[in-house]
Amino acid sequence: MLALPLLLAACSAGVLGDSTQASLKAAEGLWEYTDLITRDGESLPLTGIFLIKNDMFLQQSIFKGDPFAEQGSMAHAGPYWAGGAGLRLRSNQTLSMDPTQKTPLSSAGAMEHDLKVTRDGKDLTLQFGGGTSTIQTFRHLSNAENTQIISFAKGNLALTENYFILVNGDGNGAVTGYGSYERINDKLMMTAVRWAESDGTTVKNLRDVELSATLSPSAFTLSDGRSFTIVD
Residues 111, 173 within the same domain: no
Task: Look at residue 213 and tell me if it is in a domain.
Answer: yes
Task: Mark 5-34 as b/e (b = at least 16 C-beta within 10 Å).
Answer: eeeeeeeeeeeeeeebeebbebbbbbbbbe
Domain boundary among 94, 112, 142: 142
Domain boundary among 107, 142, 177: 142
Average pLDDT in the chain: 94
Domain boundary among 142, 171, 191: 142
Residues 27, 110 within the same domain: yes
Q: Which domain holds residue 45?
A: 22-142
d(CA 125, CA 139): 9
Task: Look at residue 11 and tell me if it is in a domain.
Answer: no
d(CA 190, CA 223): 11
Q: Is the pLDDT of residue 15 over 80?
A: no
pLDDT average, residue stretch 166-193: 97
Residues with Cβ within 8 Å of 136's Cβ and at least 6 positions away in sequence, in order, are: 33, 35, 36, 37, 50, 125, 126, 127, 128
Note the pLDDT of residue 55.
97
Residues 121, 202 within the same domain: no
Task: Look at residue 185 and tell me if it is in a domain.
Answer: yes
pLDDT tens-digit map of 91-115: 998 999 999 999 999 999 889 999 9
Residues 137, 27 within the same domain: yes
Number of domains in the chain: 2
Task: Look at residue 204 and tell me if it is in a domain.
Answer: yes
Residues 169, 155 within the same domain: yes
Q: Is the pLDDT of residue 1 over 90?
A: no
Q: Is the pLDDT of residue 54 over 70?
A: yes
Note the pLDDT of residue 13.
47
